[in-house]
Amino acid sequence: MKNHKRMLLACLTVAVAMFAVSASSASAAVWKDKGVNVSKFISIGLTGGENFEFEGANGMNCEIHATLTTEGGSTGKITAWEIKKCTGFGTYSTCEANVKEAKGLPWTVDVNATDLTITNMKVKRSFKNCAKGELEKTVASSTVVLNTPSEITEMEFSGTNETYKQFGSFKVDAPNSGTYGIG
């Protein structure tokens, strides 16, 4: 009987230890400012480009300036998504994007262990000199890969919605390049 109690106690100890490790590894990463948890409002400018492809190798490359904000914790927001000059390819090669607008801002940004997730990125584009008159698509979940999660200077994003693919990259604008991260 004594051995049975020891075995039960040993199993219980192992189970508690496994639960503690599992709980600590499941905790969400948070925004950091030079390694310290962010506890105030911050705004991070992002400059780069977005490509979208629709129905195969047809789409556009666009210059983008975006703003990511957070007040700390494990979330943030894309509060601005300015689409600038676009150049088409494939069936969009003759198209001019005359209306380019982000819809439903702010978009939610969730902090994961080593990357970010942007939820419900919705962009509407209208074209002239083009067989396509308008394109409005929502990407439910875009993954944002960070070059150095603890000191972000660059990031790449990608997401899909059936035959629509969206992807691109950003550099973090000065003076915030390398200042903020996640952990």
- Confidence (pLDDT) at 2: 53
What pLDDT is stored for residue 21 in this prediction? 38
**Cα radius of gyration rounded to whole Å, the chain:** 22
50, with CB counted inside 10 A (0-12, 13-18, 19+), is: buried
Q: Tell me what pLDDT residue 17 has.
A: 40
Q: For residues 152 and 35, what is the distance between their CA atoms, to the nearest angstrom? A: 12
What are 10-68's pLDDT values in tens digits? 433 434 343 333 333 445 799 999 999 999 999 999 999 999 998 888 999 999 999 99
Q: Residue 180: which residues within 8 A CB-CB, separation 6 or more?
A: 31, 32, 33, 38, 42, 44, 151, 152, 172
Model confidence pLDDT, tens digit, residues 87-108: 999 999 999 999 999 999 999 9
Give the DSSP letter of residue 23: H
Q: Is the pLDDT of residue 8 over 60?
A: no
What is the per-residue pLDDT for 27? 57
**Amino acid 132: pLDDT:** 82
Mean pLDDT (whole number) for 151-175:
96
pTM of this prediction exceeds 0.85: no
Q: How far apart are the first and last CA of the chain?
A: 47
97-147: per-residue pLDDT in tens?
999 999 999 999 999 999 999 999 999 999 999 888 899 999 999 999 999
- Asked whether residue 153 carries a pLDDT value surpassing 60, the answer given is yes
